[in-house]
């Protein structure tokens, strides 16, 4: 990346089957950036789309020199796409934006002003409403933020988006944090730096459908908790301690009863209850440990985060 290629602003846009929203996104973002009169680049990451996303990107790149794109060999997920973006942009200020216009481009000038003139290292956005979202999704999202903030050292604001403008220094740190199981909101919070939070009203996606099923989101939430907290692991030892105490009391109770009243053979039902309860708790705790072990396993293998099949960058990192 030569000095002359360094842009003032780089936007990273992960796209997975976004043929309906891309043209509108491109138009709006370009309009905003052109008004800001600074150099910029748009790096689109085609995350293994099966629709016309890639050919739209090729057309856009042919028409507009600001457009860069990387296309993955398959779907690696938004986290992989964002990481590829961070590894391949040159901008002094960098932001990730969704392709569906749920991250309002008209916030960019204010974010740029705050980061450049007010001395912030990053300007992050958060939704203050979740209007237009299924109630059940909002409910679980809220619970997730509540729990993760209680039990982890990464401070994650409720409603925080991945849309935030960051200084080069921060981006360099994010690239260094090359963990395979990524949870970017946690990483942004974990690395610190001075952040300004810009609130905005939720917007519905302009076209197409959400790529996150409830199950995918649930797994992502578990990922976030496992990646940024060791509290679930200690649940096992607390359970163990509690059980040991209870069984001590039970032993005394049983022995005393035997000495005082003899041993009438009874209590099959309570025995079964105790055995199944303890069995259940043990399996649960082993499951928690299993989660951490499986994460460790995927980290140790050091598989690449993404594989690039096609791009229009001069020097890109094909695999990372």
**Contact residues: ligand UDP, CB under 6 A:** 14-16, 18, 47, 75, 77-78, 81, 98-100, 102, 205, 210-212
Binding-site partner at residue 291 among ligand UDP, Mg ion, none, CB < 5 to 8 Å by type: none
Cβ at position 297, least distance to Mg ion in Å: 31
Residue 120 or 144 with smaller CB distance to Mg ion: 144
- Identify the bridge partners of residue 319 per DSSP, sorted by sequence position: 307
Identify which of residues 71 and 90 has a Cβ nearer to ligand UDP in the complex.
Answer: 71
Instruction: In angstroms, give the least distance from the CB of 155 to Mg ion.
Output: 23
Partner whose footprint covers residue 90, from Mg ion, ligand UDP, none (CB < 5 to 8 Å by kind) = none
- What is the rounded CA–CA span in Å between residue 303 and residue 309? 16
Shortest separation between residue 236's beta carbon and ligand UDP, angstroms: 32
Q: Pick what 47 binds: Mg ion, ligand UDP, none; C-beta below 5 to 8 Å, kind-dependent.
A: ligand UDP
> Nearest approach, Cβ of 237 to Mg ion (angstroms)?
40
**Positions in the binding site for Mg ion (CB under 5 A):** 98, 100, 102, 205
Judged by beta carbon, residue 120 or residue 163, the one nearer ligand UDP is: 163
Residue 18, contacted partner among Mg ion, ligand UDP, none, CB below 5-8 A by kind: ligand UDP
Residue with smaller CB distance to ligand UDP, 81 or 148: 81
Shortest Å, Cβ 100 to Mg ion = 4
Of the pair 206, 236, the CB lying nearest Mg ion is at 206
């Amino acid at each position: 990346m030569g000095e002359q290629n360094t842009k003032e602003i780089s936007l990273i846009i992960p796209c997975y089957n976004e043929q309906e929203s891309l043209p509108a996104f491109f138009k709006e973002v370009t309009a905003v950036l052109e008004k800001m009169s600074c150099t910029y680049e748009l790096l689109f990451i085609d995350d293994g789309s099966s629709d016309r996303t890639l050919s739209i990107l090729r057309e856009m790149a042919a028409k507009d020199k600001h457009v860069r794109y990387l296309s993955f060999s398959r779907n690696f997920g938004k986290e992989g796409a964002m990481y590829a973006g961070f590894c391949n942009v040159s901008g002094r200020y960098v932001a990730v934006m969704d392709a569906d216009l749920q991250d309002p481009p008209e916030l960019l000038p204010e974010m740029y002003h705050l980061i450049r003139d007010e001395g912030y290292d990053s300007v992050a956005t958060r939704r203050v409403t979740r209007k237009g979202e299924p109630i059940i999704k909002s409910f679980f999202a809220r619970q997730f933020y509540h729990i993760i903030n209680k039990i982890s050292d990464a401070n994650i604001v409720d409603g925080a988006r991945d849309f935030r403008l960051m200084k080069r220094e921060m981006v360099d740190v994010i690239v260094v944090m090359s963990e395979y199981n990524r949870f970017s909101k946690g990483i942004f919070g974990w690395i610190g730096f001075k952040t300004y939070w810009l609130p905005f009203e939720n917007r519905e996606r302009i076209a197409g459908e959400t790529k996150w099923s409830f199950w995918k989101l649930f797994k992502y939430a578990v990922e976030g908790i496992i990646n940024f907290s060791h509290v679930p692991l200690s649940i096992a030892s607390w359970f163990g301690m509690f059980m040991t105490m209870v069984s001590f009391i039970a032993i005394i109770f049983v022995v005393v009863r035997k000495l005082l009243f003899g041993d009438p053979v009874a209590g099959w039902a309570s025995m079964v209850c105790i055995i199944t309860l303890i069995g259940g708790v043990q399996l649960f705790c082993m499951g928690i440990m299993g989660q951490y072990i499986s994460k460790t396993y995927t980290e140790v293998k050091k598989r690449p985060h993404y594989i690039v099949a096609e791009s229009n960058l001069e020097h890109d990192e094909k695999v990372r």
